[in-house]
C-alpha cells in the first residue's frame, strides 16, 4: 500500500526498549497475533502471494475500530522486539474520512519510535479496519510463517498441522505433543489440554481422524481423548463428530442396519464389523458411544 500512496510523517513517539532477551522466533509473532485476536475479537485473514513479493505476509482485520494511542500502548512492546527479525507495518484508513494511514516502527540514533504517516501529513487518531504487513528475509521464511498461521487457532493458541511441520515447530521453539495423534499439535501458550485440542479440530479434520480408523484401522490418541470427553459428558460439538463419522462411513461404502433389537455394520466389501465396549481400542468404543448414546 505504501507503493500506491505518498505518505508524510504525521507523528513520531519514542518507545522504550523491551526487556525481552530471548530468541525472536515465529512463536513470539504468533503470540502477538493471538493477543491481537484477544484485543480485537477478530480473526485475521492470512494471505501470502507465492508469485510476486513472496517474502511478505498479510494479516487482514476487518470491521474493527481502534485508537492509535491504544494500539501502541498495547502492542508497542511487541514491535520493539519483532523488528529484529521482521519489518512490520500497519495499513488502515481513518474512521470518518477513510484517508489511508500507515503505522510503522523506526530505530534512529539508538532510540525506538512509533511512527504514523498519512497522505496529508495530518495526525489521525482513529483507524477503521487494518492490514498487518510482515516482511521477511526470504520467501521460504514467509512460507513457513504462512503455514504456521494457517495451523493456528487464534482463540486458544493451539496449532493443528500435518506432521511435516514438526521440524518447524522445533526450530521456532513451539511446544508440541510427541504422541501417536493424527495431527501434530503445537501450542503458543504451552497450555495443552485434550478438550482445547478437540475443540480446535474443524469438520474436515474430524473426517480425517475417522478415516484413519475406518480405512486403516488406526486408533489415534484423539479417540482416547474423545472417549474421556464423552464419558464425562463434556464433549463439545458432539453432533459434528457424529456427522463426520457418518460422512466417512458413507464415503467408504459402509452399510448400517439398525432396528430396535439389532445393529449391524458392514464395511465396503460387505464384511461384518465386530466392535466391543470392552475393547482396548478407543476408536471402537467412541464409535459405539456415538451410535448408542444411552
Per-residue pLDDT, averaged over 104-119, amounts to 92
Give bridge partners of residue 158 from the DSSP assignment: 187
pLDDT, mean over the chain: 93
pLDDT digits (tens, 9 = 90+) for 207-251: 999 999 999 999 999 999 999 999 999 999 999 999 999 999 999
Q: Given a cut of 90, is residue 262 above it in pLDDT?
A: no
Return the pLDDT at 282.
95
pLDDT at 18 over 70: yes
Partner residues linked to 272 by β-bridges:
266
Beta bridge partners of 101: 92, 118
pLDDT of residue 256: 87
Q: How far is it, in rounded angstroms, from Cα 199 to Cα 221?
A: 15
The whole-number pLDDT of residue 117 equals: 96
Number of residues that make up the chain: 294
Residue percentage of the chain with pLDDT more than 90: 83
How sure is the predictor about 190, in pLDDT bands with cuts at 50, 70 and 90?
confident
Paired with 90 in beta bridges are 103, 132
Domain boundaries, the chain: 8-142, 199-291
* Nearby residues of 16 by Cβ (< 8 Å), 6 or more positions away: 80, 112
User: Tens digits of per-residue pLDDT, 153-163?
Assistant: 999 999 999 99
From CA 220, how far away is CA 282, in angstroms rounded?
A: 8
Strands (E), the chain: 8-15, 45-48, 56-67, 87-94, 100-108, 111-118, 126-135, 158-161, 175-176, 184-187, 255-258, 263-266
**Residue 107 in this model has a pLDDT that exceeds 80:** yes
- The pLDDT of residue 294 is 65
State yes or no: pLDDT of 259 exceeds 90.
no
pLDDT at position 217: 94
The helix/strand/coil state of 75 is: helix
Comparing C-alpha atoms, which of 56, 81, 58 is closest to residue 142? 56
Amino acid at each position: 500500500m505504501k507503493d500506491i500512496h505518498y505518505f508524510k510523517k504525521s507523528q513520531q513517539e519514542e518507545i522504550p526498549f523491551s526487556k525481552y532477551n530471548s530468541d525472536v522466533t515465529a512463536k513470539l509473532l504468533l503470540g502477538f497475533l493471538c493477543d491481537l485476536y484477544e484485543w480485537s475479537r477478530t480473526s485475521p485473514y492470512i494471505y501470502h502471494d507465492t508469485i510476486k513479493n513472496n517474502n511478505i505476509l498479510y494479516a487482514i482485520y476487518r470491521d474493527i475500530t481502534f485508537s492509535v494511542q491504544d494500539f501502541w500502548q498495547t502492542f508497542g512492546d511487541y514491535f520493539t522486539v519483532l523488528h529484529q527479525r521482521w519489518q512490520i507495518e500497519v495499513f488502515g484508513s481513518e474512521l470518518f474520512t477513510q484517508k489511508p494511514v500507515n503505522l510503522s516502527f523506526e530505530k534512529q540514533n539508538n532510540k525506538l519510535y512509533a511512527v504514523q504517516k498519512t497522505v496529508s501529513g495530518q495526525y489521525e487518531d482513529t483507524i477503521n479496519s487494518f492490514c498487518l504487513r510482515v516482511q521477511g528475509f526470504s520467501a521460504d521464511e514467509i512460507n513457513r510463517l504462512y503455514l504456521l498461521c494457517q495451523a493456528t487457532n487464534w482463540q486458544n493458541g493451539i496449532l493443528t498441522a500435518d506432521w511435516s511441520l514438526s521440524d518447524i515447530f522445533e526450530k521456532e521453539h513451539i511446544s508440541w505433543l510427541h504422541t501417536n495423534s493424527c495431527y501434530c499439535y503445537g501450542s503458543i501458550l504451552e497450555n495443552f489440554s485434550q478438550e482445547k485440542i478437540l475443540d480446535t479440530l474443524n469438520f474436515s479434520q474430524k473426517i480425517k481422524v475417522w478415516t484413519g480408523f475406518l480405512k486403516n484401522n488406526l486408533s489415534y490418541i484423539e479417540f482416547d481423548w474423545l472417549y474421556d470427553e464423552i464419558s464425562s459428558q463434556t464433549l463439545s460439538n458432539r453432533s459434528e463428530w457424529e456427522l463426520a463419522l457418518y460422512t466417512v462411513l458413507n464415503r467408504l461404502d459402509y452399510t448400517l442396519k439398525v432396528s430396535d433389537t439389532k445393529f449391524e455394520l458392514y464395511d465396503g466389501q460387505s464384511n461384518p464389523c465386530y466392535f466391543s465396549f470392552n475393547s482396548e481400542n478407543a476408536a471402537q468404543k467412541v464409535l459405539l458411544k456415538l451410535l448408542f448414546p444411552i
